[in-house]
Amino acid sequence: MELRPVWFDSLGAKSMCVLVRTPDLALLIDPGAAIMQPRYPAPDALKAYYLNLATRAIRNAAADATHIAITHYHYDHFRPDIPELFAGKTMWIKDPNRWINRSQWGRARAFLSSLVESVGGEYRERSSAMAEYPDPLDALPLAAQSDRRADLIAKWRKRFVGLTKLWGEGSWVDAAGFAGRIAFADARTFTIGDTTVRFTAPMFHGIEYASPGWVLGVVVEHNGRKLIYSSDLQGPIIEDYAAWIVEEKPDALILDGPATYLLGPFQSKETLARAIRNCTRTVEESHASLVILDHHLTREPRFREKLQQAFSAGAITGAELMGIAPLTDRLARWKADEKMDDVIARAGDRTLDHELLAPRWFDLSSAVPADSVA
């Protein structure tokens, strides 16, 4: 099994895209990218440049993929504006009909209806097929033991109950219309030759009843090797998700780290401390040979000192796997050396970090470049 990092936040645009290859398939996971938030310490021109570079990297990777997985419908994980990415691919995607929030419910329908021309089949809807939904907290016994506020949990649960009405009353997208080219992947396993691809049941995008909704984790196994792609667990914040990763014992782990940049109105100190604790435990106890710790974590300059224990345990950023320092580090150095004007000029010439477009494959038996692979 081989891994090709396509793009991560540590390279300067929001993304968590990888290409996983075995003799049986080439699976592109979450081919999306979005521009960095306003407080990210880069000039707007550089933010736009790195988004463009990320988009080009994703286009290149898609050309080499046979299958595409989409774990949820945020634009840093899928690009509905580039339908040609999906042409000719088999797609395993998050169920658009349940365990999804209102904004992604709409995004998924717009996306799938637009795919008919590039993927084939027809877009069809049908009546909903499920009337009752269990409280997802019932499946999280470890989280129940954490120091979380009962009043907030009760408040947030009302949001979940409201969503169940949407799932029960709204029309459902019918996957059968796509004639097998698109499958809703929640809690399903797909076997291609000697390769198994498992998708988790929906997991919270962050904390319990998180407003961004739910995501799918992805497990790829071949010839005794295992890769886990966590998707947006933001730590994980939730203890049960950390325990799941540890119990899986992956050889390679693509892990979304705590959203340290959201500390304040969008994330309490208690929640961040919980995420850091569970992230550190996951890195230390999973014993993976390769841990890429990135995405939400690397959106601000001080991420490393806040997750010092996890990085000391062997985690690296996606940028570092690709042989380059995280962009936040380089931005600080360019500013200190008064080179920012030169850097922006190189971006204008489209020569800055152009080497990031060159594919780099890593053999997961050693996590070193697979020099024998073009």
Domains and CATH numbers, the chain: 2-353 (3.60.15.10)
Rounded Cα distance, 38 and 301, in Å: 14
Rounded Cα distance, 308 and 221, in Å: 30
pLDDT in tens, the chain (374 residues): 999 999 999 999 999 999 999 999 999 999 999 999 999 999 999 999 999 999 999 999 999 999 999 999 999 999 999 999 999 999 999 999 999 999 999 999 999 999 988 888 899 999 998 778 999 999 999 998 887 777 788 888 999 999 999 999 999 999 999 988 999 999 999 999 999 999 999 999 999 999 999 999 999 999 999 999 999 999 999 999 999 999 999 999 999 999 999 998 888 999 999 999 999 999 999 999 999 999 999 999 999 999 999 999 999 999 999 999 999 999 999 999 999 999 999 999 999 999 999 999 999 976 555 543 33
Orientation of helix 327-336 relative to helix 340-348, angle to 10°: 120
pTM: 0.96
Residues paired with 263 in a beta bridge: 267
Q: How far does CA 7 lie from the centroid of its chain?
A: 11
The DSSP symbol for 351 reads: -
Phi/psi for 109 (5° steps) reads -70, -40
Specify the residue for token string 């046979």: 66
- Note whether 299 and 40 are within 8 A (CB): yes
